[in-house]
Amino acid sequence: MEREAGKQPDHRVIMVLQVASVAGIWAFVLSIAVWILHLLHLSHRLHDVPSASVAISIVAIPVFLTGAAVLTYVFVGLRRGRSAAGPDRVEGKGR
Amino acid sequence: MNRREVEQPDHVLPTAGREDEELLRAVEKPGGGFKVTFTLLALVILGAWVVFSRQILFGLGVTGLNQPVAWGFYIVNFVFFIGISHAGTLISAILRLSKAEWRRPITRMAEIITVVVLAIGGFHPVLDLGRPDRVLNIYTAGRLQSPLLWDVTSISAYFMASTVYLYVPMIPDIAILRDRGARPQWLYSFLAWGWEGTPRQQAVLERAISILMVLVIPIAVSVHTVISYIFAMTLQPGWHSTIFGPYFVVGAIFSGIAALLVVMITLRKIFHLERYLKEVHFSHLAKLLLIMSLLWFYFTFSEYLTGYFGSEPTEMRVFFYKFSGPYAPYFWGMLMLNFMIPVLILSFRRTRRIPGILIASIGVVIGMWLERLNIVVPSLANPRLPYPTGFYVPSLVEWAMFVGGIATFVLGFALFARFFPLISIWEIREGRHLAVPETVARIESYLPDAAPARAGTEPEGG
Amino acid sequence: MMARWGMVIDLDRCTGCGECMAACHQENNLATAGPEETVQRSRAFHWLRLMPEFSGRYPEVKLRFLPQPCFHCDNPPCVRVCPVQATYLSEEGIVGQIYARCIGCRYCMAGCPYNAKVFNWYEPKRPRGVERGANPNVSLRPKGVVEKCTFCHHRIMRAREEARAAGRPLRDGEVSTACAESCPAQAIVFGDLDQPGSRVSQLARSPRAFRLHEDLGTRPKVTYLAEKG
């Protein structure tokens, strides 16, 4: 049951997966933004109350972007904050 | 299992000490209980889908919906489940923001509720579609002016924000599991994002959490406001009301706290968390529940009194349909369960103990479900024109999906508890080691400043 | 020069015979819902229905029927809420439904204060043989979509084509809906409300004219004429 040697997963693979997941979040968020803009364009083209669409997109798009930005901030922050990389290496406001 | 004591980097709070090891037990030594629960729930859910396949094959005709009552259980449950979701993230964010120290063992569970229930609730409108195969039309041809699109937008924003808000504070705990060699190791390595607990990492985490909790509150409020707008934006009697937004939000938080209490009491029993979830936590939450009950009653009273006093005929038909008509049992049941029983139980210290709180909370959950039913169906059943009104009786398919939804909720919790600690270990440890001096310092900062030292300049007393 | 189609229903002439309903069914290939569906499960399936109206007190009760098609509001609540623009207000004032786009959320039904729309709860059933005799000008609807009165849009299009081929403008009275055409009492008049001389626009200005729930601001284009005396 225990495979001591193979127990530690390949860090390269894990790293790639992590970057991919963050990229996935961005893809998700950007596609939502594109979607909302598409609907905005559609409502404009069909003379269908673009003002409502404008109001919603002004609120919604930044919210999604903020969410993804926070996640990216955590990801990058944790990467940079690892002890191997040396603590407080970067423009540290930290503590 | 041989578990090596991992060589830890000697920073602050990286691994669970012995003191909180029991929180990891469910993950590291899952009993047979998990498998049994999982199998049972999976069977229930599968059964629900089998029953539901009739709707896919034959159409929405297999439900009890009809011409004036075009919306029924699916929409009721949609509103109900999304309402429950406010338990979580909102409560947890507000408690974090207000630095309520008793939040520490609660926040994680609250956040799980949100994510699980949001996924279930968000799916319900799709069940309700006559053409689920065309659901992508919302993406290709959606109209942002329709309240349904507001919902799609704000629920997906909420889902994203609350998932992130669940995940980010979990990172240190996942790292603990990774360091202790819990399986599947790749999962924990993947999710731990290289957490080592260095001061800089902690600073990043803390800042991210504080951004998220501020972000999550307005999103959560927007979600239920917008759900109420689905109803309030129509002209239907009983729906077209300006207070629907805040009324729904209050109801959502109300049902959310009740659901949170039920979940906490249940999990406390199952996972023996008595050391963490103490009477005092329940008592505090119960007081919050009591306040929300009063607030909910205030909104309900205002809503119905304005309708009644105005006595617009169409409005009155809906009113009496609930007050003394076919929906009277549900209406009065709702008032009993949401107001009278909780207020009676929770107002007195003698009864504000775990058994009483459990009864009140279960009552509120049921009562809030009845409230959603009372909002959706009677307005549709009493249209403005004297249409031959049909009585809405939900069919087997709708009941099955209701049961399936609840089973999915339990399953979500079972799965989560199998792989992650239900109580935030690092936050408990932070509470143990850092919060006490911090809180003392904070309280001291509230106290009036010491009298000016310069004696003589200011006469003391008179 | 866009038309603005509308209808006037003279309740003084209406006998409540239900011919309009039957004609509508036939013209628009409406599916039939059996007695079980219609009565027990309240899923009557009509684009134009006879709304019963009771007045007086027992034993002097008076029952009469209001033929009620979709009112094709100029400010339609159903169009406002549709998430995919499957229902729309055309330039000629007809509230249409795009069956191929409708996702069946029934928000328009919940939003319509007149309950003018119907939903295909099942795969639409038609009696044997009717399928072959279906009106080729009106598309058959699949299950799971909302459908509604179109003001016999296909007739308008055909009449306009004919007028264009003959090189003349569309004349008043040239277009009629199935319900108007079939009414034995000639209680239903259909036409262009914006054409000053048209019968429908004159009748719509009659002192007997009223519209249902005008107070909602929906601006319905179906006008009723109250009974005389």
pLDDT band, very low/low/confident/very high, at A27 (cuts 50, 70, 90): very high
- Identify the H or E element spanning C119: strand C118-119
Dihedral sign, CA of B195, B198, B199, B200?
negative
Residue A9 in any domain: the answer is no
CB pairs under 8 A between B and C: 141
For residue C50, report the phi and psi dihedrals to the nearest 5 degrees: -95, 110
Neighbouring chains of A at 3+ CB pairs under 8 Å are B
- The CA distance from B308 to B327, in Å, is 16
* Domain boundaries defined on chain B: 34-432
Rg (C-alpha) for chain B, rounded Å, is: 25
DSSP secondary structure letters along B343-364: HHHHTSTTT-SHHHHHHHHHHH
Q: B58 and C68: CB-CB below 8 Å? A: no
Distances from the Cα of C122 to the Cα of B61, C131, C143, angstroms: 5, 16, 5
B99 burial level (CB within 10 Å; 0-12, 13-18, 19+)? exposed
Q: Percentage of residues in chain B with pLDDT exceeding 90?
A: 44
Residue C20's contacts (CB-CB under 8 Å, 6 or more residues apart) are C48, C67, C178, C179, C180, C182, C183, C188
Residue A14 in any domain: the answer is no
Indicate which of B66, B133, B375 best probes the interface with C, i.e. most C CBs within 10 Å of its own CB: B66
DSSP secondary structure letters along B105-149: TTHHHHHHHHHHHHHHHHHHHHHH-S-GGGTTHHHHH--TTSHHH
Helical H segments across chain C, by residue range: 19-27, 35, 77-81, 107-111, 153-165, 178-182, 199-204
Name the CATH superfamily housing domain B34-432. Formate dehydrogenase/DMSO reductase domain (1.20.1630.10)
C 183-202 residues inside an 8 A Cβ radius of B: none
Q: Percentage of residues in chain C with pLDDT exceeding 90?
A: 57
Averaged over B106-131, what is the pLDDT? Answer: 91
Q: Does C214 touch chain B (CB under 8 A)?
A: no
| Residue-wise pLDDT tens digits, C167-223 | 988 888 889 999 999 999 999 999 999 988 889 999 999 999 999 988 889 999 999
Averaged over B125-143, what is the pLDDT? Answer: 90
* Domain boundaries defined on chain C: 5-225
With a cut of 50, say whether residue B9 has pLDDT above it.
no
By residue range, what is the domain housing residue A66? Answer: 25-80
| Residue-wise pLDDT tens digits, B246-284 | 999 999 999 999 999 999 999 999 888 888 898 999 999
Interface predicted TM-score (ipTM) of this complex, two decimals = 0.90
- The CA distance from B297 to B288, in Å, is 14
Q: B215 and A77: CB-CB below 8 Å? A: no
| Residue-wise pLDDT tens digits, C52-70 | 888 888 888 888 888 999 9
Of C44, C144, C216, the CB nearest to B130: C144
Q: Which residues of A touch B185 (CB under 8 A)?
A: 7-9
Cα of C216 to nearest chain B Cα, Å: 8
Total structural domains within chain A: 1
Would you say C147 and C47 are in contact if contact means Cβ atoms under 8 Å apart?
A: yes
What's the fold here for domain C5-225? Alpha-Beta Plaits (3.30.70)
| Residue-wise pLDDT tens digits, B175-209 | 888 888 887 888 888 888 888 888 888 899 989 99
SS3 C191: strand
Would you say C210 and C224 are in contact if contact means Cβ atoms under 8 Å apart?
A: yes
DSSP secondary structure letters along C64-115: EEEEE-----SS-HHHHH-SS--EEE-TTS-EEE-TTT-----HHHHH-TT-
- The CA distance from B380 to B383, in Å, is 6
Q: Which residues of A touch B141 (CB under 8 A)?
A: 42
Residue A40 in any domain: the answer is yes
Residue A63 in any domain: the answer is yes
Residue with tokens 């299950």: C143
pLDDT value of residue B6? 42
Q: Which residues of A touch B216 (CB under 8 A)?
A: none
For residue C210, report the phi and psi dihedrals to the nearest 5 degrees: -150, 160
pLDDT value of residue B97? 87
